[in-house]
Amino acid sequence: MTFLRELLAVILGVFISFFIMFFVLIAIGAAVGSSFGDTDQIEVKNNSVLVLKLEENIKDYAPKSSDPFDEIFNFGENAIGLNNIINAIENAKYDDNILGISIEVLQLNSGIAQTQAIRNKLLEFKESGKFIIAYADVYDQKNYYLSSVADSIYVNPAGGLDFKGLSGEVLFFKDFQDKYGVKMEVIRHGKYKSAVEPFLENKMSDANREQTTSFLNSIWGELVDDIAESRNLTGQEINHIADELLARTPSLAVKNKMITNQLYKDEYNEVINTLSDINENGKINAINLVDYISTGKGRASSSSKNRIAVIYAQGEIKYGKGDEKYIGQELIIKALKKARKSSNVKAIVLRVNSPGGSALASDIIWRELELTKKEKPLVVSMGNLAASGGYYIACNADRIVAEPTTITGSIGVFGAIPNMSELADRIGINAEQIGTNKQSIGYSVFEPINDSFYKVTKEGVEHVYTTFVDKVAAGRNMTFAEVDSIAQGRVWTGKEALENGLVDELGSLEDAIHIAADLADIDNYKVRNYPNYEKDFKEMFKGPFASVKASMLKDELGTENYRIYKSIKRFSELKGMQTRLPFLIEIK
């Protein structure tokens, strides 16, 4: 029997070895093919129009994957970096081969702050005198907001414009927990700390409704002001159109000046030809944004030896290494140390796009940032989110810059652990604990939370909250009471945070980089992006299978059920005290 087991083990080992070698050979072949094959060289031809479709997921930072299987089998995330988009539009502004820009976005996969950053860059592009026009079969509110920067906006005659104002949706699980006997035990500080509210109530609290209404109105106000200015309308007119759905059909949208005209795509192409002022023998060349970036236009060129290091902290904060999808203290610390030690790096910008997460990992990153700013100027740039733990790691910077529509603040703490004691009782499971000391047994998922464990955990939550507020107070030159009055887990937009002192000014990542250069007293510099995402051989195999698993679950459960599954799964994976945004809200 032992011989048979060993034989099977050898056969399995040989099979796995052949499997690995097969994929390695494919990877090598693909690499050789890309180097020596008959691939077409992309070039920016004369009389070109830059086409913005933005079909990819837009991340602040999306370096090319080091995993060969991502490229070969298309397992990697279809993502494009916001930094590359911004640089490409800046380069197109001065590129003699680019006549103008055509925005043809159907579904925009970006946050509102990212969208606002792209839109502001397009406004700068218009200063060149080149045209920007936009076309879509249908517009939702986000892609219309981006497209509204155009000189002219066109829609398919059979399409429409969904323009009705912003709303938020939160899923509540209390009744679900009561029904199935599995719940989350929650201990928190902060009356606005609504990340855990869906597990405590079956409807939204007054405090949560207050903060949600406030930041939705703040974001909507930004969108209305920008659209009104571009469309030569008043904010009151824009809100009236939203209230009465006066852009729901192409004819209504044209009548109310939200759309220039309704055209079919071939007619839109004729408009591009007319704007390009090319004679009938000439030819208009279209180049999409991804191809334009691949020619090197996604980089800002400079021959200076001076560097501004931009360190990207994007995703939830978890204790551990970190990668392109989540923030771990190991990778961020490695990047900070590398930037500190480089004599060419004169200042550092931390780009934060995070809803927060582990309080411990946040504090470890905070400490490394504290050491960093003693040696070099440190500026924080906030993206879509810089809330809770995301604000924790931002609060001690020399300067903090946020987009007006950034979601930030949420200075609060909670602990959440699963409890299935009611389910265990229902199905006849009884758990007995034995320990050597009074507190040795601790918490069991099969027993109701006891007073002793609650008291100790509550003390831990209060300690982390006090530490959090103390550090914000020191970093922002405020008193504990001043911070506490705007903390308690309350969420703010960047615009609101400027008013209450949590940020220094409003602006983009570019603005933050310019501020860092000023603090370092340099005029010429080149941006160096960190961290480097490197995978070992074992990790390379995880990605493809994880992607397939997620895709299969989504297909089986459906979009809405998969969303519920992901929400519950995130909470079940939480470890330790959490400084986290109420990420269960979905803005529409």
Residues with a known catalytic role = 193, 388
Residue 560 CB contacts under 8 Å (≥ 6 apart), including other chains: none
Q: State the residue for tokens 């499997």.
A: 19
CA distance 233 to 58: 30
Helix residue spans in 260-373 (DSSP H): 265-276, 289-292, 329-341, 359-373
In terms of C-beta density within 10 A (0-12 exposed, 13-18 middle, 19 or more buried), how is residue 194 classed?
buried
DSSP codes of every residue in 33-59: HHHHS-PPPP---SSEEEEE---SEEE
| 549-555 own/partner pairs: CB under 8 Å, 24+ apart | none
**HEC assignment per residue over 517-567:** HHHHCCCCCEEEEECCCCCCHHHHHHHHHHHHHHHHHHHHHCHHHHHHHHH
In 232-356, alpha helices (H): 235-243, 250-255, 265-276, 289-292, 329-341
Give the ranges where 161-314 is alpha helix by DSSP (H): 174-180, 206-231, 235-243, 250-255, 265-276, 289-292
Residues 418, 181: Cα–Cα separation, whole Å: 11
List, in order, residues 6 or more apart from 124 with CB less than 8 Å away. 89, 90, 93
Instruction: Please state, in angstroms and as integers, the Cα–Cα distance from residue 401 to each residue in 105, 328, 355, 391, 397, following that order.
Output: 28, 23, 17, 12, 10
Contacts of 305 (CB under 8 A, 6+ apart): 344
Measured distance CA(218)–CA(212) in Å, rounded: 10
- Give the torsion through C-alpha atoms of 300, 301, 304, 310, to 10 deg: 20
